[in-house]
Chains A and B, each alone.
Chain A
Amino acid sequence: MKELFHIKFLENNDLLIVVSLIFGILTFASVLFYVIGKIKPKANLKELKARTKSWWFMATIFILATIVNTNISYIAIAFLSFVAFRELYSLLGFRNSDRRAIFWAFISIPIQYYLAFIGWYGAFIIFIPVVMFLILPLRLVLKGNTNGIVKSMSLLQWTLMLTVFGISHMAYLLSLPEIDGFNSGGRGLLLFLVFITEINDVMQFTWGKLLGKNKIIPKISPNKTWEGFIGGLISTTIIGYFLGFLTPLPTIQIIFVSFMIAFSGFVGDIVVSSIKRDIGVKDTGNSIPGHGGVLDRIDSLAYTAPVFFHLVYYLAY
């Protein structure tokens, strides 16, 4: 029982403070949207509500990692990858003859997360970009249907990279070795990543609503403005500075890393938006009702996770 629960968590004030802060903010947001929804039934809060819901999910993964058991969060993040991969590939219009290769791509998900779990960095970092990159085309070739095979090879690899390889860096944070004098560990880093990515989304949205005038890329994301983007960058970097105690980094590096999370979060957001735009416009016949859930939820994390991981890995480990 003692092994299952991190009793130490209760003594670790750093984590406890931030976790309470997150749940406080989330509760506040949920109540706020609920009240606004009651007062103004016409207000369009669908997007905001979906976002809050997804952050509840992320926060719960983290709380499981800290209070209950770190192993559960490996499984939860792997499941997130699985659902995201399934959702994206289902929309991309693969051929029937790709099914065997897709099956192997699914099999690679538990393997990738197992490598993260045992902390075998060398294998973790090459498994999808090298091993799967070489194996999947072979499986497609063995099936023998060359009509459209290049498209399938590229799509499959790219989908794996975005939804599995990128996201799995969140899990590897938990496997990073202990550093003397830094007791939040991988859990602190994961919390920092998720919280900063979340706050960046919120900040960009808020600044955009308050001051937004000049659109950055109206063709892809009409709601994205320069004011929101820059406001988000600045406020996220400042918040990152104050939460720096969750990382083992010195101040100047914390500022740089927070800035990079804010920037790459924005990039992830617009990249996934452009995908949805492409699918929504081109292949309406192939898509499925009530869709687009998980993809929206992992958009910024798919970019911030690997960027943050490799910066920290280079700077501190």
Chain B
Amino acid sequence: MRKITLKIIYSFLVRWFLKLVVGVKFDNAKFLLNETQFIILANHNSHLDTMALLASLPSNIIHKVKPVAAGDHFGKTKLKGKLTEFFVNALLIKRGRDKENPANDPINKMIKALDNGYSLILFPEGTRGEPEIDQPLKKGIGLILEQRPKIKFVTAYMKGMGKAMPKDDNLIVPFNSTLIYGKPTLVISKNVSEIMNQIENEFTKLRIKTTDNNP
């Protein structure tokens, strides 16, 4: 039931809305079918980002991919949390570490989801911040990949969505945007800061790609 709901919402409704109305150009994400599990790392400018990433996925793996969202925002009330979990398939986490309660610790929660077979969508910049400006990456993803080095990460870079729907404005104004994917990559090191450097480099490659193909 849930699988079908997510499929209809994202592969059909959201995808066509984003394509036709907002003007999002999707990269082909078929290559994700070759991976059993992955972590998508994306830049974050807009609420549309999660929608676009889910809509870009091949429809039969959507239910296996959990976008990670901040519990304090999306789980403000119990109802909001439940709705987000159902309709966005989200994994709600705390923003900071929780040493006293390991079950509630964001890193542990994400690793648990991975161990249960889910793939994740993560925004390593944390919050959306200023529209269309890249921010420094948080090292949570490094901590996860340090503990689960067999899982590949895939970078995704989105451009324009921060203009279509920026932070603090819920009006969507169509703006031609793009979503492009990098290649699924294994970490080459066990050191968190080296992992972060590797991710940073992958992002830089995508950023160059978006500015290279100018008309």
Contacts and interface: CB of A to CB of B under 8 A. Distances in A.
B214 A289 contact: yes
Interface stretch (B8-16, B163-171, B194-202): B163-171
A292 interface: yes
A287 interface: yes
Interface in A261-298: 276, 279-280, 284-285, 287-292
Given A96-B163, A96-B166, A289-B214, A106 B173 contact: yes
B66 interface: no
Interface string B195-215: 000000000000001111111
Interface in A25-72: none
A310 interface: no
Contact of A287 (B166, B169, B175, B215): B215
Nearest to A296: B215
A67 to B, nearest CB: 24
B174 A288 contact: no
A106 B174 contact: yes
Interface in B20-64: 23, 25
Interface stretch (B83-91, B107-115, B176-184): B176-184
B106 interface: no
Interface residues of A, number: 24
A299 to B, nearest CB: 13
A100 B160 CA distance: 17
Most A CB within 10 A of own CB, among B166, B174, B176:
B176
A90 B211 contact: no
- The range of chain B's interface size is 20 to 34
Name the prevailing secondary structure of the B interface residues: loop
Given A103-B173, A280-B215, A289 B178 contact: yes
B159 interface: yes
Given A90-B176, A290-B178, A99 B169 contact: yes
Given A90-B160, A96-B163, A280-B214, A83 B23 contact: yes
Name the prevailing secondary structure of the A interface residues: helix
B126 interface: no
Contacts of A285: 211
Given A284-B214, A290-B178, A99 B173 contact: yes
Contacts of A6: none
A87 interface: yes
A86 interface: yes
A90 B131 contact: no
Interface string A102-143: 110010000000000000000000000000000000000000
A288 B180 CA distance: 11
A39 to B, nearest CB: 28
16 contacts: A82-B174, A86-B23, A86-B175, A87-B176, A90-B176, A91-B176, A91-B215, A96-B131, A276-B215, A284-B211, A285-B211, A288-B177, A288-B210, A289-B180, A289-B209, A290-B25
